[in-house]
Structure formats: C-alpha cells, structure tokens
C-alpha cells in the first residue's frame, strides 16, 4: 500500500518536474537598448554646433520646463498656461494615463491573495442528503480564499507589461503637452507677425496710393503716360488684395489659437502686443541629451519593454498554473442552526493545471507576441532616427536663417539710408516726389522680408525646442 502511494506521488509530481525542466531551459529575452541599436554621431554636421552625444536614461515623467518664458511675452505665457488646463488633447492624454495606471493596479492585484464572501441556498435530493432521496434544503455561508503561485513569471510579466504601458502613456502625456505648448507658441507668434506685416502692407498701400495720385496729377498735366497710371493702379489693387489675404490668415490663426487654449472661436480676441517678443538663443551642446529628453523616444522604449514582458507571458502559458484555495464557513439545513459551531465547514485545496494539446493556440500566441516585439523595436529605431533628423534639420534651418536675417538687416539699413537721402534731396528740390515714394516702398518691402525671416526664426526655434524635448536648461 505504501508503494502504491509513493507511485501515485511520483506520478502527481511528474508534470511539475517537467514544467520546472522546461522553465530552466527557457531562454531569457535580451534587454531593450535605449537607442535601439542606433549609433549616435560624435558631432553634428552643422559647422558651429560641435556638441557630442551622450547616452542618458529615459526621463518620460521629467518636467519639460517653462521654456516659453524665454520669449519674454506675458500674453504668450498666459495662453500656454490656459492650454495646459483646457486643451482637449491634453485632457484626453491625461485620461488615458489614468486608465493605464488603473490597469497596472489591476495587474498587480492579480498577484495578491483573493478573498471573497459567499452565501447560498440549495434544494436537492439524493443518497447523500439527510432525508435520503427526499428533497432537502442546504444553507451555506463562508469565506473563499485563493492564491495563484507565480512560479513561472506569468503574473509578474503581465504586471511588468502593464507598468511599461503606463510609463509609455506618461511619456505620451508629456509629448502631448509639449506639442500643444509648441503649437500655441507658434500660432501666437505667427499671429503677431501677421499683425505687424499687415501694418507694413498698409503703409506700403498708403505709399502706393500717394504715388498713384501723383502720377494721375502728372498725367492730367501731360507729364506722364497713361501706361504709368495703369501700372500704379495695378500695384494698388495687388497690395489691397494682399491686405485682405493677411486679414483672412489673421482670422484663421485667431480661431486656431482659441481652440488650442480650449476656448470658443467666436468672439475670441487677442489683446494688442505690449512689446517686441524676444528670440531666445539655444546654446551649443544642449542636443547631446535629446534622446533622453524626447518623450516619444521614451514612449517607444517603454513599448519595447512592454512587448518583451508580453513575450514572457506567452511563453509562461506553456507551463502549469498552480492555485491554492481555501474555504471556511457554515453549512446547515436549518437557517437557525447555520452559524452554530457544530455547522462549521472548511476545506483546503491545490490545483495544478497543465496544458497538453490546444491545436497550436499557445504557439501562435507566442509567435504573435514576438512579432509585436520586433515591430516595437523597429518603431523605437525609427523614433531615434527621427529625433536625430529633427535636431539636424532645425539646427541647419536656424543657421541659414541667421545668415539671411543678417543680410536683410543690412538691406533694411541701406533702404532706410536711401529713404533719408531721398527725403533730403526732395526737400532741397533735387529729386521728384516720385523718387522719394519709390525709396519708401523699397524700405517697406525690405522690412516685410526681414519680418518674415524673423517669423521663420521663431518657428524654427520652437521646433528645435520640441526636438530637444523641452527646456534646454533642465
């Protein structure tokens, strides 16, 4: 009899021993690389930006800093702060982060003992009842306790996957905030630029109209041809059309800014500018930490780690699941005797579930998990390469815009000097008023081009801040 018990014990432990052997043979997944196998360059290709790259840990939850304050514009600061609270994209990303954290708590709860209360009443008949084959009522009440032994890491891998998902959502929330802040700043600065440009076009229109009146007066006196009048009328009409186009663009940007800050477009008015918005200069060497600061790169790495953990979950499905159960309470055919000590009942149990044949379902699930891991790694590599490209693009753009701004600055100074000299010569009767008006139109044209280049500098600076992942001083 003892020999038979030993044999049954060995047979009962055989599946567990086989599972342990398979677990020992399982190959651990390689850790995710922060840079997805991309070798960062030793220096930027931009001549004056010789900043070397460094490898830093992801910082998806790190604040991005109040970089917009570097523009020294109180209205811009107020708009960005409004968007941080009322923007719908930020609210959606925050809700998804809350959901991901709730799923993480749910996954962690699966690793804890589960305790529940139960009560029931059953009407049954049979040989095992107190009345034999006569129907009898059985009342029960008690507590049920269960706990799954995470011997092969299925629950821990599922919890780790949920944790990485939550970190990815935290990074996406930071990315959304940074995107909204950048959009608000770009839209605001473009709107201010359009307002200034519209003023310059109005001045140009006024100069064209003065010239037209002068030419019409000379034409009536016989000193100018009709062709000159028609040409100037065309210039006036074209400039008037430009004024209307700028007004249309201004209205469109105003409505877009209203939506970004969570307001209704109807009736949204931007106050008059209090002064010139500063153009911050980002020092050299800051982009060395771009891969750690960019939230999209951090989110991509978190998705890789989550996919790795889910591969572990799929592999753990090959191994048995061991559950420990316990129950304690009371059972009685009479409600009045239900909670008496003599009606007590209890039970302890252990359940081992070992899958044998499932038609290839577990193999397919493992293959799918590995495919999703490969896709996540490729996505992470793409994010890293995109981060490198974004920084290089904006550095090159800022370098070229700086040269263009210097050239146009000289052109504006020369045009101002030409206007001053023409005004002196006109007052001394050496040149006609037509030459003076031409000098003024040329100066306004150069000012408008310089304004457009400065707007492009604002846009490129904000784009570089976004490529860096936020404030360069953090």
Domain assignment present for 18: no
Amino acid 19: pLDDT: 38
What's 219's domain CATH number?
A: 1.20.1600.10
- pLDDT tier at 79, thresholds 50, 70, 90: very high
Domain assignment present for 347: no
Tell me how far apart the alpha carbons of residues 384 and 382 are, in angstroms, rounded to a whole number: 5
| DSSP category for residue 129 | B
Domain assignment present for 9: no
CB 469 within 8 A of CB 61: no
What average pLDDT does the segment 337-349 reach? 66
62 pLDDT higher than 70: no
Domain assignment present for 126: no
Q: pLDDT digits over 293-302, tens only? A: 677 777 777 7
Q: pLDDT digits over 169-225, tens only? A: 777 788 788 888 889 999 999 999 888 888 888 888 888 888 888 888 888 888 778
Nearest to 312 by CA among 161, 431, 191: 161
Amino acid 436: pLDDT: 77
Torsion of CA 213, 214, 215, 217, to 10 degrees: 80
Residue 332 DSSP SS3:
strand
Most distant CA atoms of the chain, gap in Å = 135
The separation between the first and the last C-alpha atoms of the chain, rounded to the nearest angstrom, is 75
Q: Put residue 409 in one of left, alpha, beta given phi > 0 → left and psi -120 to 50 → alpha.
A: alpha
Inter-helix orientation angle 154-220/295-316, to 10°? 150
Residue with tokens 């200034």: 196
Domain assignment present for 10: no
Token duo for residue 331: 């059972």
Higher pLDDT, 316 or 410: 410
Token duo for residue 29: 């997944």
Domain assignment present for 399: yes
pTM of the model: 0.65
Token duo for residue 159: 């919890």
Tell me how far apart the alpha carbons of residues 103 and 159 are, in angstroms, rounded to a whole number: 9
Tell me how far apart the alpha carbons of residues 76 and 206 are, in angstroms, rounded to a whole number: 31
Tell me how far apart the alpha carbons of residues 213 and 222 are, in angstroms, rounded to a whole number: 14
Tell me how far apart the alpha carbons of residues 82 and 74 are, in angstroms, rounded to a whole number: 12
Token duo for residue 161: 């996957």
Domain assignment present for 250: yes
The length of the chain is 474
Tell me how far apart the alpha carbons of residues 66 and 285 are, in angstroms, rounded to a whole number: 20
Tell me how far apart the alpha carbons of residues 403 and 173 are, in angstroms, rounded to a whole number: 37
* Count of the separate structural domains present in the chain: 1
What average pLDDT does the segment 388-400 reach? 84
Token duo for residue 191: 């709107």
CB 396 within 8 A of CB 177: no
Domain assignment present for 396: yes
Determine the structural domain holding residue 292 and report its residue range: 31-111+150-319+354-468
């Amino acid at each position: 009899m003892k020999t038979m018990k030993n044999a049954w014990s060995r047979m009962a432990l055989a599946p567990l021993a086989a599972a342990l052997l398979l677990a020992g043979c399982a190959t651990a997944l390689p850790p995710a690389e922060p840079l997805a196998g991309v070798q960062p360059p030793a220096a930027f290709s931009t001549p004056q930006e010789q900043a070397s790259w460094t490898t830093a840990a992801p910082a998806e939850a790190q604040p991005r800093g109040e970089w917009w304050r570097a523009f020294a514009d109180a209205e811009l600061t107020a708009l960005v702060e409004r968007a941080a609270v009322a923007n719908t994209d930020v609210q959606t990303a925050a809700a998804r982060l809350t959901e991901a954290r709730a799923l993480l708590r749910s996954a962690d709860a699966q690793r804890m003992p589960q305790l529940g209360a139960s009560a029931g009443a059953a009407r049954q008949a049979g040989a095992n009842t107190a009345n034999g084959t006569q129907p009898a009522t059985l009342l029960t009440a008690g507590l049920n306790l269960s706990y799954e032994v995470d011997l092969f890491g299925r629950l821990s891998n599922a919890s780790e996957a949920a944790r990485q998902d939550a970190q990815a959502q935290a990074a996406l929330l930071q990315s959304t905030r940074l995107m909204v802040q950048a959009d608000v700043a770009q839209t605001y600065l473009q709107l201010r630029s359009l307002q200034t440009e519209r003023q310059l076009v109005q001045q140009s229109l006024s100069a064209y109209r003065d010239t037209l009146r002068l030419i019409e007066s000379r034409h009536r006196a016989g000193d100018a041809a009709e062709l000159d009048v028609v040409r100037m009328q065309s210039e006036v009409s074209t400039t008037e059309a430009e004024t209307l186009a700028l007004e249309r663009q201004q209205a469109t940007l105003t409505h877009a800014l209203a939506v970004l800050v969570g307001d209704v477009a109807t009736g949204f008015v931007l106050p008059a500018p209090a002064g010139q918005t500063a153009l911050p200069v980002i020092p050299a060497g800051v982009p060395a930490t771009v891969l750690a600061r960019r939230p999209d790169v951090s989110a991509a790495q978190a998705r890789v780690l989550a996919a790795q953990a889910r591969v572990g979950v799929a592999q753990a499905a090959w191994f048995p699941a061991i559950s420990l159960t316990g129950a304690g309470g009371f059972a009685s055919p009479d409600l009045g005797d239900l909670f008496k000590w003599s009606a007590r009942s209890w039970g302890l149990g252990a359940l081992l579930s070992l899958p044998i044949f499932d038609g290839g379902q577990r193999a397919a699930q493992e293959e799918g998990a590995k495919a999703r891991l490969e896709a996540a790694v490729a996505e992470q590599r793409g994010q890293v390469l995109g981060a490198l490209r974004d920084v290089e693009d904006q550095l090159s753009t800022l370098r070229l815009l700086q040269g263009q701004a210097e050239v146009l600055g000289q052109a504006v100074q020369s045009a101002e000097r030409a206007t001053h000299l023409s005004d002196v010569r006109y007052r001394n009767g050496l040149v006609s008023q037509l030459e003076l008006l031409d000098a003024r139109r040329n100066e306004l044209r150069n000012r408008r081009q310089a304004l457009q280049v400065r707007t492009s500098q604002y846009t490129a600076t904000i784009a570089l801040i976004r490529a860096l992942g936020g404030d360069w001083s953090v």
